[in-house]
């Protein structure tokens, strides 16, 4: 939605969307950072692949791949370090391999 845009409520126009390089996923690194409701690294990697290559998508699919999509970041590297880099190690490895 942020990239592709959407109709505004009440028929008041359209949000045209942002360029893919202006958008990134920002997520808690794990339960310690979120308290509850976090995404597993495998799901984050799949979402990245869906957005950048249009593969591995579930129900929501982009209109086209966005290879210039900026990337993924965690809310708190300190929490990730405390969790043994459970977020940055697998997600970082996946992002480096995707280049």
| Residue 11 within any structural domain of the chain | no
Number of domains in the chain: 1
| Residue 2 within any structural domain of the chain | no
| Residue 13 within any structural domain of the chain | no
| Residue 6 within any structural domain of the chain | no
| Residue 9 within any structural domain of the chain | no
pTM: 0.85
Neighbour count for residue 95 (Cβ, 10 Å): 16
What residue numbers bound the domain in which 94 lies? Answer: 19-98
CA angle 23, 25, 29 (to 5 degrees): 155
| Residue 50 within any structural domain of the chain | yes
| Residue 25 within any structural domain of the chain | yes
CB of 6 closer than 8 Å to CB of 15 = yes
CB of 58 closer than 8 Å to CB of 11 = no
Q: Cα separation of 22 and 89, whole Å?
A: 24
| Residue 62 within any structural domain of the chain | yes
Q: Cα separation of 1 and 46, whole Å?
A: 18
Q: Cα separation of 9 and 15, whole Å?
A: 10
Q: What is the pLDDT along the chain (99 residues), one digit of tens a residue?
A: 899 999 999 999 999 999 999 999 999 888 777 777 789 999 999 999 999 999 999 998 999 999 999 899 998 899 899 989 999 999 999 999 987
Q: Cα separation of 62 and 49, whole Å?
A: 11
């Amino acid at each position: 939605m942020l990239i592709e845009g959407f109709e505004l409520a009440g028929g008041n126009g359209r949000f045209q969307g942002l360029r893919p390089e202006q958008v990134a996923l920002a997520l808690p690194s794990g339960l310690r950072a979120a308290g509850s409701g976090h995404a597993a690294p495998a799901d984050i990697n799949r979402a990245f692949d869906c957005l950048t290559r249009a593969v591995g998508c579930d129900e929501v699919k982009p209109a086209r791949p966005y290879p210039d999509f900026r990337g993924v970041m965690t809310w708190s590297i300190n929490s990730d370090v405390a969790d043994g880099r459970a977020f940055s190690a697998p997600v970082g490895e996946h992002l480096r391999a995707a280049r």
